[in-house]
Structures are given as structure tokens and as C-alpha cells.
Amino acid sequence: MRYPLFHPNDSDSDDDGLADGEEVNTYGTDPNDSDSDNDGLADGEEVNTYGTDPNDSDSDDDGMPDGWEVSNILNPLADDSGGDLDNDDLTNNEEYTNNTDPNDSDSDNDGMPDGWEVSNSLNPLVDDSGGDPDNDDLTNSEEYTNNTDPNDSDSDNDGMPDGWEVSYNLNPSIDDSSDDPDSDNLINLYEYTNSTNPIDCDSEDDGMPDGWEISNNLNPNIDDSIGDLDDDNLSNIDEYNTYGTDPNDSDSDNDGLADGEEVNTYGTDPNDSDSDDDGLADGEEVNTYETDPNDSDSDNDGLADGEEVNTYGTDPNDSDSDNDGLADGEEVNTYGTDPNDSDSDDDGYSDGEEVDAGTDPLDENDFPSENDGSTGGDEEPEEPIIFGFDTTLLIISTLIGVSAIIYYKKRTK
């Protein structure tokens, strides 16, 4: 081997700490190159200080140059490639590969460990803490703090972005989409899709819970409490808070009366189609029969309005439908008479007259006596005397003759 730049007057031509003769005759290094193996250590340092091979850039074959190991306080004579001196989850070999400091867990001092940055495709050598590569409204530093993936906007794949979850104190690392921390009957996922606050049951503070508003097609993000979607003259807040009615249905109980009418005009229950439980819908009572929807027996005759209309066919506004002197309820419940027939037994006397006289209004043979008002009982009535034509003519002739005789006697006196 020839060394054309050999200096005969300088024993160490390359100033590497080894005499030119040593380099040539003993170590086989280049006397004109202070670092024959280009490992960052002078040949003399390798021989005299570290005991490394000046002709092998990686004396211990651990993938890291001798000079890099020495400069980073590693051992160039032992395979320490798998070590992690700074506990940043990068091995020494990975630190070398990524040009990071194996003795500093955060080489760029951006608040994020080198290993975390490398594993998440960030740059451990520049401050990229304020970046947001996944556009989830969390900076890289916040992603690290919250243990989320800076390259995945929804780290737990629960349908809610990491930034949104963190801003509302939800957990971006577990699927909590079905939770309902504010108990408004709107799960977290629906709070996100509806832009409501998952930790405030009434996001816009209008007195109506977000879940109720969503389920009733209201807007949980604006104050629509005084609106009246169904035009029933009840505000949305009244439908929710006071009456529990449907703000999208003007007649919540389908009784033929608008909710507002029931509340403001008739005082009936807008959630009960038959407020007085008489068998007639409130609307029927008001609009058809003109009965009192809050009084099951509008005419106080002892029969419910529904019974009169649906069962007996009597007038629910007339206590004595057949005008026989007995209330409809008395006829049905006490005497068993027909409340629509004033003379149930067709004996010529009204049911009321028979009851007053003590006779049976259901027995045609039991009726009041015409003479003294007493009961005829089982006695047969007297048969009328019927005369034939000849007999009648005879009686008339006799009466005329008698009258003529009386007149003649008076004249002759």
C-alpha cells in the first residue's frame, strides 16, 4: 500500500495520535486519515482510549458507530443497541436511526417524548407540539396528554372526535357514545350529532331538556320555549313543563278538543280523552251532546252520560227523558222501567203515577183506582152497560112521552 502524502519529517502525519509507522505497520490504518473508518473517532482515540477497532466503524457490530456511541455515553465495545437510557420508548439503535439523543427523552423539548413522536409519525427533532394533523381540535401535545392518536380524529372509534370528547370531559380513549352523563335522554353520540352539550341537560337553558326537544322535533340549541308548533294555544314550555302534552299534536289525547281548549276553556285533562270517565270523549261531550266533560252525570239523574248515550238512548241533559215523573236513573236502577217510555206497561198510567200510587209500573193489570186512588188489585173492573138500537129508541120515546104528560098536566091546572 502506498501513502503518497507521507511526511518524512512528521511522525504523525494526520495528527490522529498514532505514529505513521504504527498506522502502517501495526494497525493497518491510513497515516494520512485521522479517522480511517469514518466512525467519528480518531484512529489514536480508538487504539489508545477506547480500545475500538480503528478500521471498523462499528466495533461491537450493534448497528451504532463507535463515535456516536462514545459521544452519547454508550459502550462501543458491547452491544447496547436495545437499551433505552432515557426511557422514551426508543432503543439506542432507534435513537441513532432517528438522530435523537439517547440520553434525552424529549430531544426537541416540545413536551412530547421522542418515542411517542416517532411512533405517531411526528418529528422528534422539531417542536411540532401545536400541530393537529388529524384535525380533531386537539394539538399534538394535547393528544399526547390525553393518550390519543394524533393521526386519528376518533381514537376510540365511537363516532365522536377526540377534541370534542376532551372539551366535554368525556373519555376519548374508550367508547362512551351510549353514555348519558347529563341524564337528558340523549346519549353522547346524539349530543355530538345535534351539537348539544353532553354534560348539560338543557344546552340552551330554555327549560326543556335536550332529549325531549330532539324527540319532539324542537331545536335544543335555541330558546324555542314560547313557540307553539302545533298551534294548540299552548307554548312548548307549557306542553313540557306543565301539561306533559305533545308539542307536535294539537290534540294529544285525540278526544276532539285541542290541548289549549282543554286547558284554557274546559278545564279538562289534555292527556285523557275522557276526563270524567263517563264513557264519552271530551270532544263528544262538548261538540255533540253538550254535556259537561268534567261531570260524568251532567243531568244528575243517576246515569252516566255515556250510559245514557250508548246504552239506554236517553237524553244525558234531561234527567227525565220520557217525562213520566221518574228520573232516568230511577227507572233503570230502581224500578226497572223503560226510561224512554212514560208508560212502561201501557196501562194508561205513567210510570211516575204508578210509583206514587204504589202500583206496579211493569204490570198492566195493576194500576191506580179512579174512584179513590186505591189499588184495583186483582178485582175485575165493572163492565159498561151497552144498549142495542131498539132499546135506545124505546128509552128515548118513553122519555119524550113522559115529558109530554108532565107538560099537559101543568097546562090544565
Q: Which residues of 32-66 are buried (b: 16+ CB within 10 A; e: fewer)?
A: bbbbbbebebbbbbbbeebebbbebbbbbebebbb
pLDDT at residue 20 greater than cutoff 50: yes
- Model confidence over 70-79: pLDDT tens digits? 999 999 999 9
**pLDDT band with cut points at 50, 70 and 90 for residue 9:** confident
pLDDT at residue 182 greater than cutoff 70: yes
pLDDT at residue 398 greater than cutoff 60: yes
Lowest-confidence segment of 16-30, 190-204, 219-233, 388-402 by average pLDDT: 388-402
Q: Is 375 strand, coil or helix?
A: strand
Q: How many helices (H) and strands (E) does the chain have?
A: 16, 0
Domain residue extents for the chain: 226-296, 298-378
State the pLDDT at residue 375: 47
- In angstroms, rounded to a whole number, what is the distance separating the alpha carbons of residues 360 and 371? 18
State the pLDDT at residue 92: 98
pTM: 0.73
State the pLDDT at residue 312: 98
**DSSP code per residue over 351-368:** HHHHHHHT--TT-TT--B
Question: Contact at 8 Å (CB) between 47 and 66?
Answer: no
Task: Give the percent of the chain with pLDDT over 90.
Answer: 87
The CA-CA-CA angle for residues 136, 139, 144, to 5°, reads: 105
pLDDT at residue 38 greater than cutoff 70: yes
Question: What single DSSP character describes residue 12?
Answer: -
- Model confidence over 141-172: pLDDT tens digits? 999 999 999 999 999 999 999 999 999 999 99
Residues 34-42 have a mean pLDDT of 96
- Model confidence over 206-240: pLDDT tens digits? 999 999 999 999 999 999 999 999 999 999 999 99
- Model confidence over 263-318: pLDDT tens digits? 999 999 999 999 999 999 999 999 999 999 999 999 999 999 999 999 999 999 99
- In angstroms, rounded to a whole number, what is the distance separating the alpha carbons of residues 15 and 376? 159
SS (H, E, C) the chain: CCCCCCCCCCCCCCCCCCCHHHHHHHHCCCCCCCCCCCCCCCHHHHHHHHCCCCCCCCCCCCCCCHHHHHHCCCCCCCCCCCCCCCCCCCCHHHHHHCCCCCCCCCCCCCCCCHHHHHHCCCCCCCCCCCCCCCCCCCCHHHHHHCCCCCCCCCCCCCCCCHHHHHHCCCCCCCCCCCCCCCCCCCCHHHHHHCCCCCCCCCCCCCCCCHHHHHHCCCCCCCCCCCCCCCCCCCCHHHHHHHHCCCCCCCCCCCCCCCHHHHHHHHCCCCCCCCCCCCCCCHHHHHHHHCCCCCCCCCCCCCCCHHHHHHHHCCCCCCCCCCCCCCCHHHHHHHHCCCCCCCCCCCCCCCHHHHHHHCCCCCCCCCCECCCCCCECCCCCCCCCCCCCHHHHHHHHHHHHHHHHHHHHHHHHC
What's the mean pLDDT when you consider all of the chain? 92
Question: Contact at 8 Å (CB) between 289 and 274?
Answer: no
Distance of CA 252 to the CA centre of its chain: 19
- Model confidence over 327-382: pLDDT tens digits? 999 999 999 999 999 999 999 999 999 999 999 999 999 999 865 444 444 444 45
State the pLDDT at residue 369: 84
State the pLDDT at residue 95: 98
- Model confidence over 77-128: pLDDT tens digits? 999 999 999 999 999 999 999 999 999 999 999 999 999 999 999 999 999 9
State the pLDDT at residue 297: 98
State the pLDDT at residue 362: 97
**Which secondary structure element, helix H or strand E, spans residue 66, and what is its range?**
helix 66-71
pLDDT at residue 24 greater than cutoff 70: yes
pLDDT at residue 5 greater than cutoff 60: no
**Would you give the end-to-end CA distance of the chain in angstroms?**
209
> In a 10 Å sphere around its CB, with 0-12 CB exposed, 13-18 middle and 19+ buried, how is residue 248 labelled?
middle
Q: Is 43 strand, coil or helix?
A: helix
Question: What single DSSP character describes residue 383?
Answer: P
Considering only CA atoms, which of 36, 98, 43, 109 is closest in space to residue 72? 98
Lowest-confidence segment of 322-326, 340-344, 359-363, 404-408 by average pLDDT: 404-408
Maximum Cα–Cα distance across the chain: 216
Question: Contact at 8 Å (CB) between 326 and 318?
Answer: no
**pLDDT band with cut points at 50, 70 and 90 for residue 10:** confident
Considering only CA atoms, which of 255, 245, 193 is closest in space to residue 220? 193
- In angstroms, rounded to a whole number, what is the distance separating the alpha carbons of residues 413 and 391? 34
- In angstroms, rounded to a whole number, what is the distance separating the alpha carbons of residues 60 and 69? 10
